[in-house]
Amino acid sequence: MTKLIVICGATATGKSGLAVNLARWLGSVILSADSRQVYREFNIGTAKPTLTEQRLVPHYLIDICDPQDTMTVADYQEQAQNLINSLSASPLLLVGGTGLYIRSIVQGMKIPRVAPNYELRSQLESLGQTTLYGILQQVDPTAAQKIHPNDPVRTLRALEVFYVTGIPISEQQGENPPNYPILQIGLDCDVEKLAQRIYKRTEQMLQDGLVAEVEYLVQKYGADLPLLNTLGYQEIKQYLSGEISLEVAKELTVLHTRQFAKRQRTWFRAYPQIEWFDATDPNLLENVWQRVQEFINHT
């Protein structure tokens, strides 16, 4: 029977390193759960596993999408579920910090298969959030109750799904949890220690050539590529355009990464199934390994 081990938590908590060690000991493979590592050529700024790590352990669900394309949660879920069903290795490791990706697998989220319709979105957005939310209350009151009146992203998505399919999004959602055992391990640490780790990792990214990576991507795809407006890339892009200094770009990257990590921690802490371990514990690997063995032997 398939067994799944999830390694999750905020950015810079050491998920990838822990997972590589566990996968080597288990003779297993790693399925990435990172919404930016799916894109080719976005390597340093996404903290993508190094070529050395990828040689040590087979990695899946990275470099599977072109930067100009959009990988939806539904797309990710379909590919991940297919891999879980087809790979003979067990247990498998699902590793990353994208909460929705992980939730789509461990809880079997039912996701409407509706691709982004940018023309429709543009038409809807011109009406303004107040009007859009009022429309949503009329066509899908159930969804409206779950969406904050000041949440334009979810309001727009709910209306998009309704107008494309004719069926309210609330009727297309739900969960169908998998029938195989799942162990969810979360990594966390003191806020200040995490801040130090984020600072060091940002410096390391710059040493590894983040500026050159962003410069290349801007030249190849244009500065308006949506992915270049994400964490780490946007700040360096501002530096390259002469808006800010490199030092300020680094400081902003650290600040924005800390803010992102805070949101990740809040997300993962909402799920009681996750068993938490201190990312800074010198015995982390041994402690997690012991829990993994218990899981394998008793499920």
Residues 277-290 have pLDDT tens digits of 999 999 999 999 99
Q: Is pLDDT above 90 for 174?
A: no
What pLDDT, on a 0 to 100 scale, did the predictor assign at position 258? 98
**Band of pLDDT at residue 181, cut at 50, 70 and 90:** very high
**CA–CA distance, 42 with 130 (Å, rounded to integer):** 37
Q: Is pLDDT above 80 for 89?
A: no
Asked whether the whole model's pTM tops 0.95, one would answer no
What pLDDT, on a 0 to 100 scale, did the predictor assign at position 229? 97
Q: Is pLDDT above 90 for 173?
A: no
Q: What percent of the chain has pLDDT over 70?
A: 100
Encode pLDDT of 209-232 as tens digits.
999 999 999 999 999 999 999 999
State the span(s) of the chain assigned CATH 1.10.20.140.
118-172
What pLDDT, on a 0 to 100 scale, did the predictor assign at position 148? 94
State the span(s) of the chain assigned CATH 3.40.50.300.
4-109+176-297
**CA–CA distance, 111 with 175 (Å, rounded to integer):** 9
**CA–CA distance, 233 with 46 (Å, rounded to integer):** 9
What pLDDT, on a 0 to 100 scale, did the predictor assign at position 5? 98
CATH number of 118-172: 1.10.20.140
Residues 6+ apart with CB under 8 A from 246: 206, 211, 239
Architecture of domain 4-109+176-297: 3-Layer(aba) Sandwich (3.40)
